[in-house]
């Protein structure tokens, strides 16, 4: 059958920019899937999504005008129900056939086939394929219903029937026209109170014609570009903006580059139909304000692209993505420069005002800010963070350095004070960052300033860690305070709900302990944090450790480690997370050895034996070793185990496991020739002790039984 390409477009009022790309992709993909389900597409059919501020559209290739008829076999009922003793159709069978559009003359053509325990009657028929009009109507309704609309609007639409009136319509934005073209043929479908036509609108101000009359489905994008001054494709429009941003930055010169922000680029792409990048500037005096403030206000409030020099420092020029292309753009440039100036002036005012008070003078004010109704104020929280930070510092080798301890305490005390500043009140995203600037202004030293700035890090996956050890300690204290407090009052994450970002905090703790290589045990870290809460909370140590281990496990698997490898290492609940990677690499290397499978299986067997035995102390008496196999194993262990232990203590886990692999032959011989649970109690306990000492030696790096098949 011949095919034509299909175009469907909904022309609407301005769509929510942050949702536009998802709306466009969902609209086109559901249309294709629904048409495919109805047999109206071919194996070669491809969909192209279009999404601009005022339209959602889809172009689908190789669409049939009529789907092929289908042979369908339908089960009717058991033979005993459909036919009487004489083989004649029962009233139930005739009624069923009538419902399917067949009569009594179809009874002889019915097929019998076993269906489970009984024999059933089956009816073969041909179902006429769907027409494109019917199929597209169904697909369009489904596509609209499944749109990921952030918030639905209700609006009134004038009816097109003989009686005047209004109907209520629900959609993301009021829709004004619908286009449905199969090649050049109009497909008569309806949606949102609209009837499909071949007319759409171009750019609000710069379209050459209005409306744009579409001649063919394949000419949609080209006609909109030529006659409507609109780049309909989200992807093409985004690429054009990137090209123009790069060209404009090159025009400015000096090695400047537009700030890279994918989310901002997507949002701006969803705001314009005909992008035109222009270079603007502001007064250089504003550069005295921290660049994070200026960048944030330009991006968040104005959707501008700040220009950074080669060193990453903000310049006084920025790029605007305009939606119009006038011959003289000076008015557009001047307008944007006037608009941004008050924003920057506000930032400068906040910065100047905030510096009139020291961070230390703001500490008392934290007692008036509620943190959590069960955990008190930010002032109380600060006291807990200070106590936890001091406890962490006491666990480190740097505890002997009085200046280090003092810096930790001061940074922990002042870390939250910038919450009370005007700048952070206006731009909450700058908390921590502004604290660092104000700490430098107060002359508190770079270590303290960096620690205050960095104590929220890592904020997200892949974010950098605090730059110095003081910052790491304060960041750990801050995250542990949140984790211990929330677990202590039972405020745990559920499903996809995690309002206090406990999963992110746990991953932050894991990353800092792994990557900063702090010489501190995880359980000791949790234990020293709990007393800071007094009697406010229940002891959360066990649940919190399991939660952190779960985050660690997921993180390691995402990094490419096998589930068995991760399970083997984490089964021992390692305290120093900094050496987890070395343990994993050792397990991975061990698994490649020819002896690994047998030793893992033996280790699992030993574990099962010891679980069934009463308390075994691992003591071995050489005089009670009777069988040659147990003597040989014991003798070899006297050489191999000390060597493996020495390698373990030196941190060479791979060498330790490789050394233990030499025991494979002796272990196999032991299980082949020795009865562990001998009738004589002294022999039994001695052999269990031998296995216990072997089990301890083999499982210092990881629980090797987890590698057993």
What is the structure's pLDDT at 349? 96
**Six-digit token string for 420:** 């009370």
> In angstroms, what CA-CA distances link 398 with 387, 406, 408, 454, 525?
17, 11, 11, 19, 16
Tens digit of pLDDT for each residue in 493-519? 888 888 899 999 999 999 999 998 888
pLDDT digits (tens, 9 = 90+) for 521-566: 999 999 999 999 998 999 999 999 999 999 999 999 999 999 999 9
Give the residue among 282, 290, 297, 347 at the shortest CA–CA distance from 313.
Answer: 290
Cβ-proximal residues to 52 (8 Å cutoff; 6+ apart), any chain: 20, 230, 231, 232, 234, 237, 273
Question: How many whole angstroms separate alpha carbon 321 and alpha carbon 119?
Answer: 71
Which positions ≥6 away from 12 have C-beta within 8 Å? 54, 55, 56, 171, 172, 173, 174, 175, 176
**Token pair recorded at residue 42:** 């071919």
pLDDT band at 168 (very low <50, low <70, confident <90, very high): confident
Q: What is the mean pLDDT of the segment spanning 591-617?
A: 85
Q: Note the pLDDT of residue 96.
A: 87
Quick one: pLDDT at residue 589? Answer: 92
Which residues make beta-bridge pairs with 474? Answer: none
377 prior amide bond cis, ω within 30: no
pLDDT(163) > 60: no
Q: Which residues contact 231 (CB under 8 A, 6 or more apart)?
A: 52, 224, 225, 237, 240, 273, 274, 275
**Residue 159, pLDDT score:** 63
Pairing of strands 166-171, 118-127: unpaired
Q: Domains (ranges, CATH) in the chain?
A: 3-67+131-228 (3.30.70), 70-127 (no CATH), 234-354 (no CATH), 376-429+440-560 (no CATH), 581-707 (1.10.730.10)
Count CB neighbours of 697 within 10 A.
20
Residue 263 — very low, low, confident or very high, per pLDDT cuts 50/70/90? very high
Is the pLDDT at 145 greater than 70? The verdict is yes
Torsion sign (Cα): 474, 479, 482, 488: negative
Q: What is the mean pLDDT of residues 314-325?
A: 96
What sign for the dihedral angle of Cα 486, 491, 495, 498?
negative
Of 365, 479, 381, 376, give the one whose Cα is nearest residue 418. 365
640-689: pLDDT as tens digits:
999 999 999 999 999 999 999 999 999 889 888 888 888 888 888 888 88
Q: What is the pTM of this model?
A: 0.80
For 244-259, how does the pLDDT look when each residue is reduced to its tens digit (9 = 90+)? 999 999 999 989 999 9
* pLDDT for 436 beyond 70: yes
What lies within 8 Å, CB to CB, of 8 at 6+ separation is: 31, 57, 58, 60, 136, 140, 178, 179, 180
Structure confidence by residue, pLDDT tens digits, 82-92: 888 888 889 88
- Indicate if the pLDDT at residue 49 is higher than 60: yes
Q: Which among 499, 489, 579 has a CA at the least distance from the CA of 540?
A: 489
* Torsion region of 505: left, alpha or beta (phi above 0 gives left; psi -120 to 50 gives alpha): alpha
Q: What is the mean pLDDT of residues 293-302?
A: 94
pLDDT at 167: 77
Mean pLDDT to the nearest integer, 226-232 = 96
**Percent of the chain residues past pLDDT 90, beyond the cut:** 70
Beta bridge mates, 277: 321
Q: Measured between alpha carbons, how far is 64 from 5 in angstroms, rounded to an integer?
A: 9
Please give the angle made by the CA atoms of 440, 442 and 443, to the nearest 5 degrees: 65
The SS3 call for residue 186 is strand
Rg over alpha carbons for the chain, rounded to the nearest Å, is 36
pLDDT, tens only, 343-357:
999 999 999 999 999
Structure tokens at 295: 């960048």
3-state secondary structure of 643: helix
Helix (H) or strand (E) holding 275, with range, is none
Length of the chain in terms of residues written: 709
Interior angle at CA 6, CA 156 and CA 192, nearest 5: 10
Round to whole Å and give the CA distance between 344 and 295.
Answer: 10
Express each pLDDT in 368-395 by its tens digit.
999 999 999 999 999 999 999 999 999 9
Q: Give per-residue pLDDT as tens, 120-141.
A: 888 887 778 789 999 999 999 9
Mean pLDDT for all residues in the chain? 92
* pLDDT band at 164; cut points 50, 70, 90: low
């Amino acid at each position: 059958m011949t095919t034509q390409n299909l175009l469907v477009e909904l022309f609407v009022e301005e769509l929510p920019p942050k949702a536009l790309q998802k709306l466009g992709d969902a609209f086109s993909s559901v249309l294709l899937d629904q048409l495919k389900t109805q047999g109206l597409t071919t194996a070669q059919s491809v969909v192209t999504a279009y999404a601009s501020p005022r339209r959602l559209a889809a172009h689908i290739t190789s669409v049939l005008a009529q789907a092929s008829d289908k042979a369908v076999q339908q089960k009717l009922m058991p033979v005993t129900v459909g036919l009487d003793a004489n083989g004649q159709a029962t009233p139930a069978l005739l009624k069923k056939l009538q419902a399917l559009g067949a009569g009594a003359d179809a009874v002889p053509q019915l097929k019998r086939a076993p269906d489970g325990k009984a024999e059933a009657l089956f009816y073969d028929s041909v179902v006429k394929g769907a027409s494109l009009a019917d199929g597209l109507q169904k697909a369009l309704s489904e596509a609209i219903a499944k749109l990921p609309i952030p918030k639905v609007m209700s609006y009134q639409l004038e009816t097109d029937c003989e009686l005047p009136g209004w109907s209520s319509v629900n959609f993301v934005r009021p829709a004004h026209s619908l286009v449905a073209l199969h090649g050049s043929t109009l497909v008569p479908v309806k949606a949102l109170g609209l009837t499909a036509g071949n007319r759409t609108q171009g750019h609000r101000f710069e379209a050459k014609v209005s409306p744009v009359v579409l001649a063919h489905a394949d000419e949609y994008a080209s006609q909109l570009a030529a006659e409507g001054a609109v780049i309909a494709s989200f992807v093409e429009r985004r690429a054009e903006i990137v090209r123009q941003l790069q060209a404009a930055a090159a025009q400015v010169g000096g090695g400047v580059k537009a700030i890279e922000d994918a989310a901002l680029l997507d949002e701006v792409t969803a705001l314009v139909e005909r992008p035109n990048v222009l270079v603007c500037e502001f007064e250089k005096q504003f550069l005295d304000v921290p660049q994070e403030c200026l960048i944030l206000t330009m991006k968040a409030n104005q959707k501008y692209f700040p220009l950074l020099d080669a060193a990453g420092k903000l310049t006084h020029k920025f790029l605007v993505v305009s939606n119009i292309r006038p011959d003289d753009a000076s008015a557009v440039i001047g307008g944007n420069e006037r608009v941004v100036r008050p924003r920057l002036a506000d930032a400068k005012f906040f910065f100047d005002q905030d510096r009139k008070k020291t961070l230390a003078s703001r500490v008392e004010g934290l007692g008036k800010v509620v943190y959590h109704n069960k955990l008190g104020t930010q002032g109380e929280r600060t006291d807990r963070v200070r106590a936890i930070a001091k406890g962490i510092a006491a666990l480190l080798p740097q505890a002997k350095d009085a200046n280090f301890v003092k810096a930790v305490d001061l940074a922990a005390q002042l870390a939250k004070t910038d919450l009370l500043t005007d700048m952070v009140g206006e731009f909450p995203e700058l908390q921590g960052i502004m604290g660092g600037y104000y700490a430098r202004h107060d002359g508190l030293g770079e270590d303290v300033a960096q620690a205050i700035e960095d104590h929220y890090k890592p904020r997200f996956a892949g974010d950098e860690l605090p730059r110095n050890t003081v910052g790491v300690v304060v960041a750990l204290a801050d995250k542990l305070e949140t984790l211990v407090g929330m677990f202590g009052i039972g405020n745990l994450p559920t499903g996809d709900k995690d309002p206090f970002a406990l999963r992110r905090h746990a991953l932050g703790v894991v990353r800092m302990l792994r990557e900063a290589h702090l010489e501190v045990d995880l359980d000791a870290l949790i234990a020293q944090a709990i007393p800071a809460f007094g009697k406010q909370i229940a002891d959360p140590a066990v649940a919190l450790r399991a939660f952190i281990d779960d985050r660690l496990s997921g993180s390691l698997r995402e990094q490419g480690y096998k589930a068995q490898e991760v399970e083997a290492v984490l089964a021992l609940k390692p305290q120093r997370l900094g050496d987890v990677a070395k343990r994993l690499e050792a397990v991975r290397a061990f698994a490649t050895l020819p002896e690994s499978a047998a030793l893992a299986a033996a280790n699992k067997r030993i574990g099962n034996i010891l679980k069934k035995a009463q308390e075994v102390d691992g003591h071995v008496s050489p005089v009670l070793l009777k069988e040659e196999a147990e003597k040989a194993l014991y003798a070899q262990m006297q050489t191999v185990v000390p060597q493996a232990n020495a390698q373990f203590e030196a941190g060479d886990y791979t060498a330790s496991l490789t050394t233990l692999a030499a025991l494979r032959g002796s272990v196999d011989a032991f299980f082949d020739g020795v009865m562990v649970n001998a009738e004589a109690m002294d022999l039994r306990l001695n052999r269990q002790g031998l296995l216990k000492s072997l089990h301890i030696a083999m499982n210092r790096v990881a629980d090797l039984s987890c590698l057993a098949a």
